[in-house]
Amino acid sequence: MSCGAQAGRPEPKPPWLRIRLRTGPEYREVRGLMRGLQLNTVCEEARCPNIYECWGDRTATFMILGDVCTRRCGFCAVASGRPRGVDPDEPRHLAEAVARLSLEHAVVTSVDRDDLPDGGAGHFAAVIRAVRERSPCCGVEVLTPDFRGVPEAAAVVLSAGPVVFSHNVETVPRLYPEARPGSRFERSLALLREAVVCRGAAGAPLVKTGLMVGLGETKDELLATFEAIRTAGVEILTLGQYLRPTRDHLPVARYYHPDEFISLRRAAEAMGFRHVEAGPLVRSSYHAKSHARRAVAGESAPDRA
């Protein structure tokens, strides 16, 4: 079962994509903390549908290296253009936020910074070290860009000791020219392979990736992409529904029914992933702490409506 867009007008979202707005004191506290420390979050910049739940639970995904991306992906709500210089105080400010939120698991992502010689890998490492120094018991998960294929970028990030190294392939290879201009599937896959190879000397962190559905891919393309990712050594896979941020972004080709996510999750699990999280509102950093815990324990994800 699925829902698709009719020609000429956007299709209304199906009932299983309705979210509950929770703007209580916890949400307002997290928002105030981010403003006070001049931090960006992908929760806001990418218009994540889970922001009310996550901020209400005092969790957030920090976005470093500014809020302007050097690429213009067809699905992404983050602004693109010429970014400002890197803030040298950002690692300290982010570590302060993690400490004040008393986080046990922090997720750190970034915009693409093709203007930087290392793509931002060194700044990722500085942020991880700052958080570990201030909050030694907090595990840091990084969701990185592809660093333009810069050699040893993954090794630089892994040297700082994240517990999870994640890079999203986002979609199937055929849709890259339209959905991810400036990126290449093989380059993303190579980064994930590099992370798998390098992690032996870096405390064996988990390696993770995520995809969206609803951009026009076929089931066979999805399964082939899952297989390529698993063959690269990736252990955690997330799968969620693409939601069009604005009319200027790529349209939704169709909405997947929750039952389809269950079927795709089981197919991926059969390929040997240690953990697969799939559902309409699943995002790579949504319930990220439980992804890592379940992967280590070998637990299956719950069926998500």
Task: Give the DSSP H/E element, type plus range, for residue 210.
Answer: strand 206-213
3 in a domain, yes or no?
A: no
What is the model's pLDDT at position 7? Answer: 43
What pLDDT, on the 0 to 100 scale, is given for residue 103?
A: 80
Of all residues in the chain, what percent carry a pLDDT higher than 70?
74
Average pLDDT estimate for 273-288: 84
Confidence of residue 1 (pLDDT cuts 50, 70, 90): very low
pLDDT for residue 3 is more than 60: no
User: What pLDDT, on a 0 to 100 scale, did the predictor assign at position 2?
Assistant: 47
Element housing 140 (H / E): strand 139-143
Check residue 297 and give its pLDDT.
59
The C-alpha atoms of residue 279 and residue 262 are separated, in whole angstroms, by: 7
Least confident of 75-79, 143-147, 210-214: 75-79
**What average pLDDT does range 10-27 have in this prediction?**
67
Amino acid at site 38: Q
Q: What is the rounded average pLDDT of the residues 221-230?
A: 98
Q: Which residue has the higher pLDDT, 282 or 217?
A: 217
pLDDT band at 106 (very low <50, low <70, confident <90, very high): confident
Phi, psi (deg, nearest 5) at residue 259: -65, -30
Asked whether residue 202 carries a pLDDT value surpassing 70, the answer given is no
> Looking at the domain assignment, is residue 304 inside a domain?
no
More confident residue, 104 or 207: 207
The verdict on residue 46 lying in a domain is: yes
Residue 21 CB coordination number (10 Å): 10
Lowest mean pLDDT among 14-18, 78-82, 166-170: 14-18
Radius of gyration of the chain (CA): 18
Tens-digit pLDDT profile for residues 29-42: 666 666 666 666 55
**According to the model, what pLDDT value does residue 89 have?**
93
Of 137, 61, 122, 73, nearest to 291 by C-alpha is 61
| pLDDT tens by residue, 162-191 | 999 999 999 999 999 999 999 999 999 999
Asked if residue 136 belongs to a domain, the reply is yes
Question: What DSSP designation does 166 have?
Answer: E
Whether 7 is covered by a domain: the verdict is no
More confident residue, 15 or 158: 158
Which residue type occupies 46?
Answer: A
In this structure, is residue 13 part of a structural domain? no
Give how many domains the chain has, as a whole number. 1
- Whether pLDDT at 118 is above 50: yes
Q: Which pLDDT does position 100 carry in this prediction?
A: 83
Residue 220 has pLDDT above 90, yes or no: yes
Q: What is the CATH number of the domain that holds 148?
A: 3.20.20.70
> For the residues of 184-202, what is the DSSP string, one character each?
-HHHHHHHHHHHHHHGGGT
Structural domain contains residue 5: no
Q: Identify whether 81 is part of a domain.
A: yes
Q: Which of 22-36, 219-233, 284-298 has the highest average model confidence (pLDDT)?
A: 219-233
pLDDT digits (tens, 9 = 90+) for 231-249: 999 999 999 999 998 899 9
Instruction: Output the CA–CA distances (angstroms, integers) from residue 105 to 58, 182, 282, in the order listed.
Output: 11, 31, 18
Written as six digits, the tokens of 166 are 């994640």
Q: Could you list the residue range(s) of the whole structural domain that residue 60 is in?
A: 19-297
pLDDT at site 299: 61
Which band of pLDDT confidence, cut at 50, 70 and 90, is reported for residue 296? low
* Average pLDDT of the segment spanning 79-88: 93
Mean of all residue pLDDT scores within the chain: 84
